[in-house]
Chains A and B, each alone.
Chain A
Amino acid sequence: MDDLLADFLTETNESLADLDLALVKLERAPDDAQTLSLIFRGVHTVKGTCGFLGLSRLERVAHAAENVLGKLRDRVFPVTGDVITTVLAAIDRIKEIVNGIAATGSEPAGDDAPLIAALNLIADGKAAPAAATAAAQEPEPTPPPAAAEPAPEPVSAAPPPPSPAPREAAPAEHVEATPAGEPVGAAQTIRVAVDVLEDLMTLVSELVLTRNQLMQLARQQENSGFTVPLQRLSQITSDLQEGVMKTRMQPIGNAWNKLPRLVRDLARDLNKKIELTMIGADTELDRQVLELIKDPLTHMVRNSGDHGLETPAERRAAGKSETGRITLKAFHEGGHIIIEIADDGRGLPVDKIRAKAVSKGLATEAELATMSEAQILRFIFRPGFSTAAAVTSVSGRGVGMDVVKTNIEKIGGAIELTSRLGLGSTFTIKIPLTLAIASALIVQAGGERFAIPQLSVVELVRASVGDTENGAAKEEGQSRIERINNTPVLRLRNRLLPLVNLRELLELSPAEATTSAEPTADENPACYIVVTQVGNVTCGIIVDAVFDTEEIVVKPVAPILRHVTMFSGNTILGDGSVIMILDPNGLARATNIAGGDARGSDVGSGRKLTAHISQSGERTALLIFRAGGTEPKAVPLGLVARLENIPRDKMETSAGTPVTQYRGKLMPLVPLSGSIDMERESHPVLVFSDVDRGLGRDRAMGLVVDEIVDVAEDFLRVELSGDRAGLLGTAVIDGHATDVIDTVYWLRQAFQDWFASAAGDAPTARVLVVEDSDFFRHLVVPALSAAGYDVSAANDAAQALRMREAGVKFDAIVSDIEMPDMNGLDFVRRVRAEGPWADLPIIALSGHSQPHEIEAGRQAGFTDYVQKFERDSLLASLQQCLAERRQASLAH
């Protein structure tokens, strides 16, 4: 009640000052209806508020004055100087009483009867100006000059003032609540328009920016005379910033004060027993933020009471106390405010959410099967999602949690949720203290700098890109970016972290990047990964460089750029340059990470197999799976573009072959076990794709297996080359005899023309394969190694020539013709021209087989010309070339 009274006094003092002015104005312009109604409203407000506060004396005076003003407004009688004088007298009396309250905390004693009588007389139209004036001039001690007048009540137009008796008790409470002698006056606070504070905040923000600029300049000049005053300026600016922030701070309790009532009503409506506990109500936060979270909080508490808590009977049955508990907790944590809304109810029903997600078409059973519980729970934040079986008056209309989430994310916050069945659920909201100034990490990608809000940054990881020639990447303890097909992932503390390359995402061309001095992620063996977390979604952003953190003032982007959702705003840095602020939410959305779709990333990880040199004697990542039997089967992971889980209903039949729609195309499905078990809900599918830029080819096939077991890294040494169709042979992988499948065979099942194949044998010889297509390289290397060759691979001609320079010896070379930069013809000319490889047999691999092309190949120096990919022909040709070479060397 203390605060209420103080507020009332402040407010009343202000409106009284206004009333004085307005009344004087009215006297001069009696017809000014606007001023008149302003005055009427002012007095009316005073009357209403003091009635509420139990200030009976004040109320009676105000009431009488209001009566007069009401008549004036209704033009019952004209505005005259006398009337105004009397009203002013009433205003003065109100001021007097208000001052008395301010000084002592309660209404001072005094007799207002004469004044009220005078006012009532006027209201009745029986103007008694003299009496009124007298009353106004000598308020209290003077005996009522108009005492002879009849009692005002019966003739009063409005109901008489209520009996004072019951009200008197209320002010007594104020006296108790107020420390003796300390005035409750308005002196301690002034009311300032929010706009003024906002402007002040903007100015301080700008000042902070300018300070940062100055500091940056000063750092470049050592021993400058500015250093000391600048430090002072900096300190003062920080203090000022803090001070201005404080003016905007309000305890979170202000947003909570309606909740006890809400919970009480809720409990009664739902016949539940609910106890609301609020912890940390005095935690302060920016009023702008406070306003924005008010509604979400209310909604969530309501949800907890309605959905979360059980009825007393259910609680008893579950062995809990009948009274459910909702706990609201707020506290500061590192520049953020954490608000927890916890209940000890039934917890979120994961099964119901799962079923609902399916019925709403938000996810398929198969997708759900690969999701963690936390991911499934997050469906409640999807629009239109409500698990409440019945729509109650309280909640269950399916509008809500998505709005809550949107509102919280709008202010740069995040919402998380944990739930344990039968024990309750907890929502945790993390919001920034203020929206005005944020801390941001400055990063660089593709030669441009960007700011990432510190709020969403979890950690920074320095990582290397795959294997490198110098082996630097193999250092222990350093994280390595691996790739599944071309999608980068990072193994971080036994978790697989999806990565996005900022440069690629923002379509910053590498060409422009190379013009800058900074090396880019692709060229640089080491790059940085900014691990961000938004809600439950963690994602790594690959950047080229990481700079400082800076305090930034977030400014909205121009309307014509609003559609670029990757940015949440822009700002000016300390050095005066403009920088875009990345929105981690937008990034995650742009890469589908936020969709809760964990396909591919949960299943396995692959080494970056676009390795510069991958010798078959090296460890190879192998995907272990089962199909048509219990024994494990394996395929080099580098061959597999993606792992998918394709649900039964997505499998269709076209021309007698099972197919599925995949990335806008029809993809043939080949069951490894011979048939697809249509009883199963879904099947794991290994997707092989063949993208040859040289030929402009882009196609895919899916190999249907029973189960994906693991990813293992081992030496791929195919030992048994059986005659079983579709198998390259058997290798010992992870200590188990594992069938290595012959991808070539299976691909040919899907596309007759993909290539032909058969097994062959040849003496051990060292073969270099030069091939730019990852796919064919990974086909050729295992195929040749299965045939007994010691195979090395290079992904372009330059790579191969470097190997020549390094003195690597081979017995034969197999080279592609269509390659970027240096094609096979040029390559072979270079090899023939000089060096130790000059007289090696070189076999051309090409998709073209026109006679003139073959002739061109021979003229360039190729020993033989083989259709891509005819394994038989290649093996036969290799065998023949090597035999000729052996004979030649024997002859010498």
Chain B
Amino acid sequence: MSLDLIERRPPTTEVEERGETETMFVTLTVAKQLCGVPVLSVRDVLGEQTITRIPLAPVEIAGSLNLRGRIVTAVDLRRRLRLPPAPPGSPRMSVVTEQGGELYALLVDQVREVMSLRSSQFEQTPPTLPGDWAAYSDGIYRLASGLLVVLDVGRLLALAPDR
């Protein structure tokens, strides 16, 4: 797989014309839904972390954590997608991505394996998807085990500065 294909946004019809291409995703679950984040946008995968709450911050921001001396802002994906909060005591994992030189951790329920997905499995986001999912989804992959929602990290992290 060549680098320029990976750096692309998830395949478009234009790519399909050229034939099958594969994109690698880090797969994760949030409220039992399988999601994917392009592997190259992921800097780290973390287990349970100590997170410092940030008062007055938007609700989606779970707090900040220390990743090897760098301060990472943690965004709770459940809250971002307006999903019910995780049952208390359940372990959370984080996917660390970089955006504009800053590190952000997406708090998810579980991080799964890295998958290579073919463009033939790709579909545009169905318009009927509820608002929050539609806004942060880049498309859907049809997998044998179910559907995988591609998350748009950029839009997920574009939190409005006003509350």
Chain A: residues with CB nearer than 8 A to chain B? 206, 209-210, 446, 448-449, 506-508, 555, 557-564, 566-567, 570-572, 576-580
CB of B61 within 8 Å of the partner chain: yes
Residues of A within 8 A of B161 (CB): 560, 562-563
A576–B55 touching, CB < 8 Å = no
Task: Flag the segment in B6-14, B65-73, B107-115, B141-149 that touches A.
Answer: B65-73
In this complex, what residue of B is CB-closest to A502?
B55
CB-CB contacts of B54-95 with A at 8 A, as 1s and 0s? Answer: 111110010111100101010000000000000000000000
**Contact status A578-B55, CB under 8 Å:** no
Contact of B64 among A559, A576, A578 (CB under 8 A): A578
Task: Tell yes or no: B26 within 8 A of A by CB.
Answer: no
Report A275 CB to chain B, min CB distance, Å. Answer: 50
B contact face: mostly helix, strand, loop, or mixed: loop
Q: Offer 28 A-B interface pairs, CB within 8 angstroms, sorted by A.
A: A210-B69, A446-B55, A448-B52, A448-B53, A449-B52, A506-B56, A555-B71, A559-B102, A561-B57, A561-B61, A561-B73, A563-B162, A563-B163, A564-B54, A564-B55, A564-B56, A564-B57, A566-B55, A567-B54, A572-B66, A572-B69, A576-B66, A578-B64, A578-B65, A578-B66, A579-B52, A580-B54, A580-B55
Pairwise interchain contact A558-B50, C-beta atoms closer than 8 A: no
Q: Which residues of A contact B61 (CB under 8 A)?
A: 560-561
A contacts with B: majority SS:
mixed
Rounded to whole angstroms, the CA-CA distance of A559 and B104 in the bound complex is 11
B127 at the binding interface (Cβ < 8 Å): no
A576: chain B residues at CB < 8 Å are 66
Instruction: Please encode chain B, from 37 to 63, with 1 for each CB lying within 8 Å of some chain A CB and 0 for all others.
Output: 000000000000010111111100101
Known: A209-B69, A558-B64, A558-B71. 16 other contacts (CB 8 A): A448-B53, A507-B56, A508-B55, A559-B100, A560-B61, A560-B159, A563-B163, A564-B54, A564-B55, A564-B56, A564-B57, A567-B54, A572-B66, A577-B52, A578-B52, A580-B52
- In the complex the two chains form, is B56's CB within 8 Å of A560's CB? no
On chain A, the residues within 8 Å of B63 by CB distance are 578
> How many Å from the CB of B71 to the closest CB on chain A?
5
Q: Taking CB as reference atom, which chain B residue is nearest A213?
A: B69
Interface check B106, CB cutoff 8 A = no
Query: Are the CB atoms of A206 and B69 closer together than 8 Å?
Result: yes
Q: Does B157 contact A (CB under 8 A)?
A: yes
Minimal Cβ-Cβ distance residue in B for A561: B57
* Closest CB pairs A-B (n = 7): A506-B55, A558-B73, A563-B161, A578-B52, A560-B159, A578-B64, A564-B56
Could you say which of B56, B100, B104 has the most chain A C-beta atoms within 10 Å of its C-beta? B56
Closest to A579 in B: B52
C-alpha spacing A572/B70, complex, angstroms: 8
Chain B interface extent, by class: 20 to 34
With known contacts A558-B102, A572-B66, A578-B66, A507–B71 Cβ distance under 8 A: no
Residue ID in chain B nearest A563 by CB atoms: B161
CA A566 – CA B52 in complex, angstroms? Answer: 16
Q: In the docked arrangement, what's the CA distance between A512 and B93, Å?
A: 23
Q: Which residues from chain A contact B55 at a C-beta distance below 8 Å?
A: 446, 448, 506-508, 564, 566, 580
| Complex CA–CA separation, A449 to B50 (angstroms) | 13
User: Do B56 and A570 touch across chains, with their CB atoms under 8 A apart?
Assistant: no
Q: Which A residues are CB-close (under 8 A) to B64?
A: 558, 570, 578, 580
Q: Which of A563, A566, A572 sits near B71, CB closer than 8 Å?
A: A572
The minimal Cβ–Cβ distance linking A202 to chain B, given in whole angstroms, is 11
Closest partner residue, chain B, to A572 (CB atom):
B66
Residues of B within 8 A of A561 (CB): 54, 57, 61, 73
Residue of A nearest to B157 (CB): A560
Residues on B with beta carbons closer than 8 Å to the beta carbon of A507? 55-56
A residues near B157, Cβ cutoff 8 Å: 560
Q: What residues on B are CB-neighbors of A446 within 8 Å?
A: 55
In whole Å, how far is B158's beta carbon from the nearest beta carbon of chain A? Answer: 8
Assembled-state Cα–Cα distance A571/B162 (Å): 24
Chain B CB within 10 Å, residue with most, of A209, A449, A559, A570: A559
Task: Name the interface residues of B116-163: CB closer than 8 Å to any CB of A.
Answer: 157, 159, 161-163
Task: Determine the chain A residues whose CB is within 8 A of the CB of B54 once the complex forms.
Answer: 561, 564, 567, 580
Min CB gap A505→B, angstroms: 8
Q: Which residue of A lies closest to B73 (CB)?
A: A558
Minimal Cβ-Cβ distance residue in A for B53: A448
| Bound CA–CA A555/B63 (angstroms) | 15
Measured between alpha carbons, how far is A562 from B54 in the docked complex, in Å? 12
Report chain B residues within 8 Å CB of A210: 69
Choose one: A560, A563, A571, A579; the contact of B73 (CB below 8 Å). Answer: A560
Asked if A570 contacts B69 (CB within 8 A), the reply is no
For A562, list chain B residues within 8 Å (CB): 161
| A contact residues around B58 at 8 Å (CB) | 560
B54 CB to closest chain A CB (Å) equals 6
Taken together as a complex, chains A and B put the C-alpha atoms of A576 and B55 apart, in Å, by: 19
CA distance in complex: A572, B69 (Å): 7
Q: In the assembled complex, how far is the CB of residue A671 from the closest CB belonging to chain B, in whole angstroms?
A: 42
B163 to chain A, nearest CB (A): 8
Q: Which of B50, B69, B102, B159 contacts A577 (CB 8 A)?
A: B50
For the complex, what is the distance from the CA of A206 to the CA of B102, rounded to whole Å? 17
Most buried by B among A506, A557, A558, A562: A558
Residue of A nearest to B101 (CB): A559
CB distance from B102 to the nearest CB of A (A): 5
Closest-CB distance, A566 to chain B (whole angstroms): 6
Q: Which of A508, A564, A577, A578 has the most chain B CB atoms inside 10 A of its CB?
A: A578
Contact indicator A558/B56 (Cβ below 8 Å)? no
Q: For the complex, what is the distance from the CA of A209 to the CA of B70, rounded to whole Å?
A: 12
List the A side residues contacting B162 at CB < 8 Å: 563
A508 to B57, CA, bound (A): 11
From residue A194, how far is it (CB to closest CB) to chain B in Å? 20
Return chain A residues, CB-CB under 8 Å to B52.
Answer: 448-449, 577-580
Q: With A and B bound together, what is the CA distance between A210 and B65 in angstroms? A: 16
CB nearest neighbor in B for A573: B66
A582 to chain B, nearest CB (A): 10
Task: Give the residues in chain B near A449, CB-CB below 8 Å.
Answer: 52
| Nearest A-chain residue to B64, judged by Cβ | A578
Q: Given the complex of chains A and B, what is the CA–CA distance between A555 and B67 in angstroms?
A: 14
Minimum CB–CB distance for B140 against chain A, Å: 27
* Least Cβ–Cβ distance between A511 and chain B, in angstroms: 13
Chain B residues whose C-beta falls within 8 Å of the C-beta of A570 in the assembled complex: 64, 71
The interface residues of chain A lying within 8 Å CB-to-CB of B71 are: 555, 558, 570-572, 578
Once bound together, how far apart are the Cα atoms of A579 and B159, in whole Å?
21
Which residues of A have CB within 8 Å of B66? 572, 576-578
Query: Closest CB of chain B to A769's CB: distance in Å?
Result: 38
How far is B136's CA from A92's CA once the two chains are assembled, in angstroms? 65
Question: In the assembled complex, how far is the CB of residue B151 from the closest CB belonging to chain A, in whole angstroms?
Answer: 17
Chain B residues with CB below 8 A from A580, complex form: 52, 54-55, 64
Complex CA gap A70/B94 in Å reads: 62
Q: With a CB–CB cut-off of 8 A, which chain A residues contact B163? A: 563
Report A509 CB to chain B, min CB distance, Å: 10
Q: Which residues of B contact A555 (CB under 8 A)?
A: 71
A795 CA to B103 CA, complexed, in Å: 50
Question: Which of chain A's residues has its CB closest to B100's CB?
Answer: A559
Docked Cα-Cα span, A572 to B52, in Å, equals 11
User: Closest approach, in angstroms, between the C-beta of A385 and any C-beta of chain B?
Assistant: 29
Using Cβ atoms and an 8 Å threshold, which residues of chain A touch B69?
206, 209-210, 572
The docked-state distance in angstroms from the alpha carbon of A506 to that of B54 is 9
- Name A564's closest neighbour in chain B (CB-CB): B56
Q: How far is the CB of B58 from chain A (nearest CB, A)?
A: 7
Q: Which chain B residues border A564 with CB–CB below 8 Å?
A: 54-57
B153 to chain A: closest CB distance in Å?
13
Report chain A residues within 8 Å CB of B65: 578
In the complex, what's the smallest C-beta–C-beta distance from B23 to chain A, in angstroms? 27
Residues in B with CB closer than 8 Å to A559 are 100, 102
Give the CA-CA distance A562 to B161 in the complex, in Å.
8
CB-based nearest A residue for B69: A206
> Could you tell me the distance between the alpha carbons of A564 and B61 in the complex, rounded to whole angstroms?
12
B30 CB to nearest chain A CB (Å): 19
- Give CA–CA (A558, B55) in the complex, Å: 14
